[in-house]
Amino acid sequence: MTDHPQWYRDAVIYSLDVKTFADGNGDGIGDFVGLRDRLDYLDDLGVTCLWLLPFYPSPWRDNGYDVADYYGIDERLGTMGDFRRFLDEAHDRGMRVLADMVFNHTSTDHPWFQRARDGDEEYRDYYLWTDDPESAPDVQNIFPGEEDGVWTYDEAADAHYYHQFYHFQPDLNVSNPAVQDEIERVLRFWTEQGLDGFRVDAATPMIGPKGAEPVSIDDPHSLFRRMKSTVGDVDEETVLLAEADDEPAELKRYFGTGDEFDLLLSFVSNAHLVWALVDENADHLGEAFDRLPDYDEVAEHGQWANFLRNFDELNLGPLPRQEFDRAFERIGADPDTRLYGRGVRRRLAPLLDGDPDRIACATSLCFALPGTPIIVAGDEIGMGDELSLPGRDAVRTPIQWTDDPTGGFSTGDAETLFRPVVEGEYGPESVNVAAQSGEPDSLLAHVREIIATRKACPELSRGEQSVVETEDPAVFLHRSDWGETTLLTAHNVGSEPTTVNLDAPDDVVTHLLGPGEYSLDSDTVSIELGGYEYCWLRLGRPRTRSA
């Protein structure tokens, strides 16, 4: 890998869960041996960075986000040696690796909490307690319908502890300097192991006022600055990615002055993007640009991380109220798919009727947004969901490599899998990597092409960004100006053919990507798009990328 402190600006991130990616020992659970064996596939796909969901020792009551030990590898996923061999081989292929880090809360199984509930005063202050939850501020739990409030009584402690998430995930008191020291030690340890960065889970609730008599850090963002300084002291290229689901006007603060987060997951863009795709109206996506801080100001110190789906519910909460009601009714038409009054537990392919052209267009559009694109494991082949599984587990099924009963995920029996593979029209007999690998017109082939093109377009991370208005509401037209070149990306999220005309004073036009066609007449370029088609054009002569 080359020395490049801002490597994240040109990265393509692939998010995966080790336990559902590839099983290397046949026990039905994915592991680091299986992941290492699939690195050639990821290299061929073209991704440059892997984001791993939590792999630390955990009861797995919340998919590993209930951490019981910050310093180890869950034995079901392998050993520290397995992890290091995977990391070395990923680095040998030029891939960076980010890991999820959960500091808002721990598992109730964590030794800190066990010592706290047993009366150890030092560790008691690692968490938040009260004898009178009825007089505490009325705070809604993150998981309404599954959790009844934010206080749970612990018999050993004879007190109630505070938890914004599940009752087995007590919140850490991050205003406690001792907890901040623990956070620093954990980050330093894993950075020294060779990780290239961290996706910080629940960054917003982490620093918010907590507890019966709400406590918070005097300067909440000072903790993020300390975290960034800690990893930077080990390796200046280490990146912090924030899960910060805050008000749009507040988001820019998470970048600081280049001394906090490098990347910020854009939940606002995500909700508007998916709604635009489902409603076949690109104006919804344009509204996201209107609501978010100006990109040029954001790019001064950091960058958005754009995504279509993750391994949680599709969160429509960032939409304006009127749009939310319409979107939730439409996307969550099946009541069984709805979660928490805000989300839908479906993967990308079912949201777009399993249409490969729509999925390719959606992927291209996500990659054409200014920022760093993220793709979730399985979306490159159009994997579906398994609604028979509880809650968010519906979108967390094993990756389908082949058409055999386990989808090629494991050599064990299907009955032994940690989670079952998808059944029905999106099952492995219909959707798998092997079947698409040799097909030049498969979704997988198109996604590879999209990734390769995005990596060759620094305009999207370094240029001046603008949305170009069109007369057709189904078309999203975006312009990126960088040096002597202009990158134009046009996407038709509707089913009807359309033509877009715009001024193009430069007579050097290069077609980079997509089935859409263009013609040049004098100072006008015309882009013809069929239903669900896209087209990337570069105007002018590209300059050499600089660090």
Partners of 215 in the β-ladder: 210
Cβ pair 193, 132 in contact under 8 A: no
Residue 546 lies in a domain: no
Across the range 51-57, mean pLDDT stands at 99
Q: How far apart are CA 114 and CA 123, in angstroms?
A: 9
Nearest to 161 by CA among 198, 110, 126: 126
Give the pLDDT score at 543. Answer: 53
d(CA 137, CA 140): 10
pLDDT 10s digits, 150-160: 999 999 999 99
**pLDDT of the residue at 504:** 78
* pLDDT tens digits along 287-320: 999 999 999 899 999 999 999 999 999 999 999 9
CB atoms within 10 A of CB 290: 9
- Angle, vertex CA 286, rays to CA 373 and CA 541, nearest 5: 60
* Residue found by looking up tokens 């439409």 in the block: 330
Together in a domain, 443 and 359? yes
Same domain, 129 and 239: no
Mean pLDDT computed over 342-356: 99
Q: Is residue 170 part of a domain?
A: no
pLDDT in tens, 31-52: 999 999 999 999 999 999 999 9
Structure tokens at 323: 């749009």
What does the block give as tokens for 379? 């979306």
The active-site residue out of 196, 243, 385, 459 is: 243
Contacting residues for 273 by C-beta, under 8 A, at least 6 apart: 284, 285, 288, 306, 308, 362, 365, 366, 369
Extended beta strands in 210-262, E state = 239-242
Q: Which domain holds residue 335?
A: 7-104+177-454
Q: Quick one: pLDDT at residue 547?
A: 36
Q: Which of 507, 504, 499, 472 is nearest to 488 (CA)?
A: 504
Nearest to 30 by CA among 383, 347, 406, 310: 406
> Do 287 and 373 share a domain, yes or no?
yes
Residue 5: predicted pLDDT = 77
**Same domain flag for 356 and 257:** yes
Q: What is the pLDDT of residue 541?
A: 66
Q: Are both 417 and 522 inside the same structural domain?
A: no
Cβ atoms 176, 206 nearer than 8 A: no
Mean per-residue pLDDT of the chain: 96
Q: What is the CATH number of the domain that holds 504?
A: 2.60.40.1180
**Predicted confidence (pLDDT) per residue in 450-489, tens digit:** 999 999 999 999 999 999 999 999 999 999 999 999 999 9
Lowest mean pLDDT across 81-95, 177-191, 399-413, 530-544: 530-544
Q: H helices within 197-266, ranges in order?
A: 203-207, 221-234
Q: What is the pLDDT of residue 61?
A: 99
- Write down the pTM of the prediction: 0.97
User: What is the C-alpha separation between 386 and 395, in angstroms, rounded?
Assistant: 7
- Name residues whose C-beta falls within 8 Å of residue 435's C-beta, 6 or more positions apart in sequence: 403, 442
Q: How many domains does the chain have?
A: 3
CB 315 within 8 A of CB 342: yes
What type of residue sits at position 173? N
- Residue closest to 302 by CA, chosen among 268, 253, 269: 253
* Mean pLDDT score, 375-393: 99
Bridge partners of 457, per DSSP, are none
Mark whether 433 and 513 lie in a shared domain: no
Given the residues 201, 260, 313, 459, the one annotated as active site: 201
Active site residue 122: no
CATH of the domain at 215: 3.20.20.80
Tell me the per-residue pLDDT of 9-33, one tens digit each, with 9 for 90 and over: 999 999 999 999 999 999 999 999 9
Task: Say yes or no: 437 and 337 in one domain.
Answer: yes
- What span, in angstroms and rounded, lies between the C-alpha atoms of 437 and 400? 12
Long-range contacts, stretch 286-292, CB < 8 angstroms, 24+ apart: 286/467, 286/476, 287/320, 287/323, 289/467, 291/248, 292/248, 292/251, 292/266, 292/268
Residue with the two structure tokens 């386990």 = 406
Asked if the structure places residue 167 within a domain, the reply is no
Between 288 and 520, name the one with better pLDDT. 288
> Are 366 and 489 in the same domain?
no
pLDDT at residue number 278: 99
Q: Is 516 exposed, middle or buried (0-12, 13-18, 19+ CB in 10 A)?
A: buried
Nearest 5°: the CA angle 368, 448, 301 is 40
* pLDDT at residue 8 tops 90: yes
Find, among 47, 14, 8, the residue nearest to 262 by Cα.
Answer: 8
Say what the pLDDT of residue 545 is.
Answer: 46
Q: Are 148 and 272 in a shared domain? A: no
Q: What is the CA radius of gyration of the chain?
A: 23
Does the structure show a pLDDT above 80 at 140?
A: yes
Sheet holding 475-482, edge to edge: 464-468, 475-482, 485-492, 534-539, 509-513
- Residue 123 sits in the same domain as residue 67: no
Please say if 125 is a catalytic residue: no
Pairing mode of beta strands 197-201, 96-102: parallel
Residue 180 has pLDDT above 70, yes or no: yes
**Strand, helix or coil for residue 115:** helix
